[in-house]
Amino acid sequence: MPTDFVIDADAGYAPDDLPPVPVRIDGEVYQAHCPKDSVGLILAELQERASDPAAQREAVHQILQSLFTPEDADQLLAKVLDLGNRRVTLRYVLHLLNLVSEHYEPDLRAQREEMGLAEPEPKRQATAAKNAVRKKGKGTRTPPRARA
């Protein structure tokens, strides 16, 4: 029995609606896009495969592809792998990912609110003074013993 009802998962979800942001990298300006939220999985793989250079190279390339056009990602990966380029490194790429993610965070928060997703409340840590147990009574302020 065929049905005409189809759930449209694309309705209301348009990640490309966020405009790209210009980013200066090694003297050149690129257009960075909002990274996919799944980039965290790539970061986990990058850490997990720290001893596998080929897997690390692929993970860095995927991170760059999540931010830039395929052509720009290829060009930037070449800069990462260029031993003569001391500026654009793996650490630089991770720093860049953090900067771009922070730039888009207000927009992403607004999108989550529109979708009815609650923001996690920040954890409050108790201060040491509130949790300290005060000792009362004999022996709480015993002076040090004199040496004989």
Residue bearing the bigger pLDDT, 133 or 45: 45
pLDDT number for residue 36: 85
Question: Using an 8 Å Cβ cutoff, are 18 and 109 in contact?
Answer: no
Going by C-alpha positions, the residue among 85, 70, 74, 92 that lies closest to residue 23 is 92
What is the token pair recorded at 142? 């015993």
- Cα–Cα distances (Å) from 108 to 18, 85, 101, 103, 105, in that order, read 9, 33, 9, 10, 5
pLDDT number for residue 77: 98
The alpha-helical segments, DSSP class H, found in 16-89 are 39-48, 53-67, 70-81
pLDDT digits (tens, 9 = 90+) for 84-109: 999 999 999 999 999 999 999 998 88
pLDDT digits (tens, 9 = 90+) for 12-23: 666 677 899 999
What is the token pair recorded at 2? 């065929």
Integer Cα distance of 143 and 140 in angstroms: 9
Question: Using an 8 Å Cβ cutoff, are 109 and 43 in contact?
Answer: no
Q: Which residues pair with 21 in a beta bridge?
A: 32
pLDDT number for residue 108: 82
pLDDT digits (tens, 9 = 90+) for 22-81: 999 999 999 999 998 888 889 888 888 888 899 999 999 999 999 999 999 999 999 999
The pTM for the full model equals 0.69
Strands (E), 1-148: 21-25, 28-32
pLDDT digits (tens, 9 = 90+) for 29-45: 999 999 988 888 898 88
Question: Using an 8 Å Cβ cutoff, are 93 and 84 in contact?
Answer: no
Question: Using an 8 Å Cβ cutoff, are 56 and 21 in contact?
Answer: no
C-alpha angle 140-143-148 in degrees, rounded to nearest 5: 145
